[in-house]
Amino acid sequence: MVRVPNVTRADAAAAVRNPLAFIAARWTPAPRTVQRAALSALLMSVIIVVTGGAVRLTGSGLGCPTWPKCTDDSLTATSEMGVHGAIEFGNRMLTYVLCAAVGWAIIAARSQKPYRRGLTRLGWAQFWIVMGNAVLGGIVVLVGLNPYTVAAHFLLSSALIAVATVMWQRTREGDAAPRPLVGKSVRQLVWFLVGASALLIAVGTVVTGAGPHAGDSSEVERMPVDWETVTKLHAVLAWIVVTLTFALWFVLKAVDAPRAPLGRTRELFLVLLAQGVIGYVQYFTDLPEVLVGLHMLGSAVTWIAVLRVLLSLRERPETTAGAPAPTAAQAYEATSVSMAGPR
């Protein structure tokens, strides 16, 4: 048996003053632990999007008619509120699970040795996005599911997924300067792909805000746009994203690019095909709730896949003591003969 050291009064004061530093001084997580913590935060950011969609699709958006309490007289849902109250309150409780996952990621990143300031900042960025979105979610309820606030709520969730994806990727990399694996023209094409994907998601929130699933059985304001027109615009943008993805894959094959960008692009193409099938089926079957929910999940997975393509275009090796890593410009200059870059 290993004797547990006594906690002195000074230790207790230090823990209260800066709990993260206190934990970091006494615990060093394995790299895999940090990776799993970041992945758990990413998974919870996707789950909260899906469960939020379930709240809307079951007409439970006002199951708890006020915020921060569930009702004026009760913090939690009551039996009189039925299943809608339970669904809405359950989704609110999942926010605490999300906070726990993000907190775990922050603690693991802060405790890693050597200390990686950038990784910890990504964890804190997630925390503040979650806090902001929690407040925004309360505003959504207080304004009776106004479609513009609902759209902002979803977009902020997409921002959370983006930061969580970047943090997960960074836990599997070093802190040396990024070295490009492809040429500038390929990177520009990918940035066009990212921009088109972001626009696709934004227009998707307009489709939702103008569509029939208002989120509650009562009369809820909808966006004053023609739903058929904006849905067709959404489809056109989806085809643009698919076309850009195929073009990217073709270019990467032509320049004999490294395996990572090719693999991530292929994964994105398959995700887009599945998402497109779901989208067209739900459109021609009058938007059944199950398919709409799957489409929301697909939106989150597509966004992650797009960001993984972007992040696969460079590598960040571990820094070595006494030998500074080459800068991105130096690394690229050495391999400027090929668009594919070093492999």
| 131-168: pLDDT as tens digits | 999 999 999 999 999 999 999 999 999 999 999 999 99
Up-side HSE of residue 268: CA atoms within 13 Å toward CB?
30
List C-alpha distances in Å: 140 to 61, 149, 157, 261: 9, 6, 14, 39
How much helix, strand and coil, in percent to the nearest 5, is found in the chain?
70, 0, 30
Q: What is the pLDDT of residue 213?
A: 87
Tell me the torsion sign for CA atoms 73, 77, 80, 81.
Answer: positive
Its pTM stands at 0.88
The answer on pLDDT for 227 being more than 60 is yes
The reported pLDDT for the residue numbered 287 is 87
Tokens of 206: 């307009």
CA distance 46 to 37: 15
**What is the rounded average pLDDT of the residues 165-181?**
93
Domain ranges of the chain: 26-175, 176-315
Residue 335 — pLDDT band, cuts 50, 70, 90? Answer: very low
Give the pLDDT confidence score for residue 14 in this predicted structure. Answer: 66
Q: Which residue's entry shows tokens 């797009």?
A: 306
Give residue 322's pLDDT.
41
pLDDT band at 1 (very low <50, low <70, confident <90, very high): very low
Report which of residues 273 and 7 the model is more confident about.
273
Q: How far is CA 171 from CA 28, 39, 49, in A?
A: 14, 9, 23
In this predicted structure, the answer to whether residue 64 has a pLDDT above a threshold of 50 is: yes
pLDDT digits (tens, 9 = 90+) for 233-252: 999 999 999 999 999 999 99
